[in-house]
Amino acid sequence: PYPDRIRVFRRPENLGASRNAYELLCQAQGRYLAFCEGDDYWTAPDKLAVQYAFLEEHPDLIGCTHRCVVVEGDYQADPLPKQRISWVREKPRFTLRDFQGIYLPGQTATIMKRNIFLDKNGDLSFLYEANRNVSDRTATLLYLTKGDFGLIPRVMSAYRRVRRGPQSQTDQLYTHNPDVARMELAYTERLEETAARLTSERGLFKPYYQRLYAAAVYRYLRSPSKGGRETVALIGRHLGGGGVHPAAFVAGVARRIADAL
């Protein structure tokens, strides 16, 4: 149905999530982009109209978000007791300084942003080259170099996740996957290289390097190994040799453990 509005793109091979998302964005023809991944859903029938009107009224903003409810289970599931999403920072105006290498202005299904992909000038391949399977932070960085995100204080979508276990790669830093810190370090270094090309802002990623460092030390203290020690040293290079104020370090570890478990 609606062949003039809905287009299906079939992939003969697995491109990776980032390359697939990039190529779909390049095919988008509208002035604005909105997203709804398969496990999430929109809850307000006027969601798109509200966000469209908001961006039309705020031409200085590059995009906008709204609030969402966190659920688990089947369609229209009950809200979870814990509604906080650790990697989302809701602010009336979300800027590049709020990014810190990890935070997003909203969960994917809450976002509407201007379609900068209509401009075919320039090479945006770094959006999928930075990480094969993670592109939300890369895209957020790109957009924030062009403008801020606004927040509409209404719940208009649902984010579905599993109640137990780590909810993101960064949560896994403290749990069962010993390779995540290295992968996160590599990705963050690529993001920092990209930021150096796109903006004159410096020090954007220091808060996240501190979190990675705290996680690496925590894992090493629980299970000492040569690889763990090397990871601590690699991350420490981004903090002037790994120097972190002890009080801030202990508080950071305690906070991240509480969030992840």
pLDDT, tens digit (0-9, with 9 covering 90-100), for 157-179 = 999 886 554 455 555 565 555 67
With pLDDT > 90 as the criterion, what percentage of the chain qualifies? Answer: 52
Check pLDDT > 90 for residue 233. no
With pLDDT > 70 as the criterion, what percentage of the chain qualifies? Answer: 84
Short-list 151, 148, 46, 59, CA closest to 106: 151
Check pLDDT > 90 for residue 44. yes
pLDDT mean over 141-147: 96
Check pLDDT > 70 for residue 261. no
Higher pLDDT, 174 or 143: 143
Check pLDDT > 70 for residue 237. yes
Residue 3 pLDDT? 81
CA dihedral 168→149→140→20, nearest 10 degrees, is 90
In the three-class reduction of DSSP (H, G, I as helix; E, B as strand; rest coil), residue 214 is classed as helix
Q: What is the DSSP code (8-state) at residue 80?
A: P
Check pLDDT > 50 for residue 123. yes
pLDDT digits (tens, 9 = 90+) for 52-61: 999 999 999 9
Give yes or no for a contact between 127 and 142, defined as CB atoms under 8 angstroms apart.
Answer: yes
Check pLDDT > 90 for residue 20. yes
Residue 251 pLDDT? 56
pTM for this entry: 0.85
